[in-house]
Each structure stands twice: as C-alpha cells, then as structure tokens.
C-alpha cells in the first residue's frame, strides 16, 4: 500500500508541476502555488458538490433516503479514517501499512451496518404487525 501511495503522490506532484508551469509560463501569469490550490481545489470541490447534491436529491426521494444518505456519509468518513490510520502507522512505524487492514476495517463497518439493518427491519416488521392487529 505504501508503494501505491508513493506512486499516486508522484502522479499528483507531476500534475501539480505541469499545471503550475502551464499557468505561469504559457498563460504569462504570475500565479503562485497558493493561487493554483485555490482554483484547482475550488473547481474540484464545486464539481463534487454539484454531483453529490444531484445524487442526494435523487436518494432523498426514496423510501429510506435519509438512511441511505447517512450510510454513504458514514462510509465516506470511514474510508478517510481507515486510510488516515494506515498512513499514520507508516509515518510512525507503529504497525504495517497494508491495504488489507483498511479493507478489513471497512468490511467491519459494513457487517455491523448489516446487523443494524436486519435488527431495524425486524423491529419495523413487529411494529407494523401490532399496528395492523389493533
């Protein structure tokens, strides 16, 4: 996993240098690294936001839309968390940085969420059963 992160970091660094060179030299701009980060991250962020907004509006109309959105948000936070922990392990040399550790951690969340879903379904079924019998 460490090698994959290093390769991705190298790709990002090369892309960063290319864009900075293009903006500064080709467009005759005095753009700084901070200007580049402002514009690129702003554009990436608004594109992601518009996509998520569109998708969230579609999902919110579904029967369990809020639950689905809650799962997606939590899963996203969990992905960031497990990779942050793996990167922290690599930086501090306290454990091995392995993709499998991250995958197993996410699998744990999914299993616990499935248990939650089953228990919630049973609860709703029993609740609706007793509501209809009255």
Task: Write out pLDDT tens, residues 40-80.
Answer: 888 998 999 999 999 999 999 998 899 999 999 999 999 99
Instruction: Report which DSSP code applies to 94.
Output: S
Residue found by looking up tokens 């892309």 in the block: 15
State the DSSP code for 28: T
Question: How many helices and strands in the chain, by DSSP H and E?
Answer: 4, 0
Q: Is the dihedral of CA 88, 89, 91, 94 positive or negative?
A: positive
What confidence score (pLDDT) does residue 102 get?
A: 85
The confidence band for 15, taking pLDDT boundaries of 50, 70 and 90, is confident
Q: Is 102 exposed, middle or buried (0-12, 13-18, 19+ CB in 10 A)?
A: buried
The per-residue pLDDT for 134 is 67
Q: How many CA atoms lie within 13 A of 8 on its CB side?
A: 5
Percent pLDDT > 70 in the chain is 98
Residue 25 has pLDDT above 80, yes or no: no
Q: How confident is the model at residue 1 (pLDDT cuts 50, 70, 90)?
A: low
The more confident residue out of 1 and 46 is 46
């Amino acid at each position: 996993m460490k090698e994959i992160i290093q390769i991705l970091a190298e790709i990002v660094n090369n892309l960063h240098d290319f864009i900075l060179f293009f903006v500064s030299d080709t467009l005759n701009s005095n753009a700084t690294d901070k200007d580049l980060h402002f514009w690129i991250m702003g554009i990436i962020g608004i594109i992601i936001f518009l996509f998520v907004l569109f998708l969230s509006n579609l999902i919110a109309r579904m029967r369990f839309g809020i639950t689905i959105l809650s799962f997606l948000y939590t899963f996203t936070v969990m992905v960031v968390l497990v990779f942050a922990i793996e990167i922290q392990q690599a930086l501090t040399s306290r454990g091995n940085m392995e993709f499998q550790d991250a995958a197993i951690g996410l699998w744990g969340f999914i299993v616990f969420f499935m248990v939650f879903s089953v228990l919630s379904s049973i609860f709703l079924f029993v609740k609706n059963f007793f509501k209809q019998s009255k």
